[in-house]
Amino acid sequence: MTPHAQHSSKKIYKNFIDGQWADGATGRLFANKNPAKPKDLIGYFQRSAQSDIRQAVMAAQKAHLPWKRIPAPKRAEILYAPHLFYRNKKRTWPLS
């Protein structure tokens, strides 16, 4: 499943809970606009319910212990990897 879909030529973003992209429990969306350019629609986001928040918190609590057991230098390496990926992709973007 992807993190977003198309809606009126704009993306619909989903919640990322417990390793999966999911629709919000309410089934409703809200438009998010660029505060610097109010006419610029960023996309549509889930209008989440308390049950979505509970699921996300429970998933975070479940993931905390295994994450805590990873040595700090390795955690830093894991968190830094997406930066390297996107930095390299940005350099090659017109060609990729």
Measure the CA–CA gap between 5 and 89, rounded to whole angstroms: 22
Q: In the chain, where are the structural domains located?
A: 4-95
The predicted pLDDT at position 59 comes to 97
Q: What is the pLDDT of residues 10-60, one digit of tens each?
A: 799 999 999 999 999 999 999 999 999 999 999 999 999 999 999 999 999
Question: Which helix or strand (DSSP H or E) is residue 44 part of?
Answer: strand 37-46
CA-based nearest residue to 28, from 12, 41, 5, 8: 12
CA 77 to chain CA mean position, Å: 20
Is a pLDDT exceeding 60 seen at residue 95?
Answer: no
Any idea what the Cα angle at residue 22 is, between residues 78 and 54, rounded to 5°? 85
Measure the CA–CA gap between 35 and 41, rounded to whole angstroms: 10
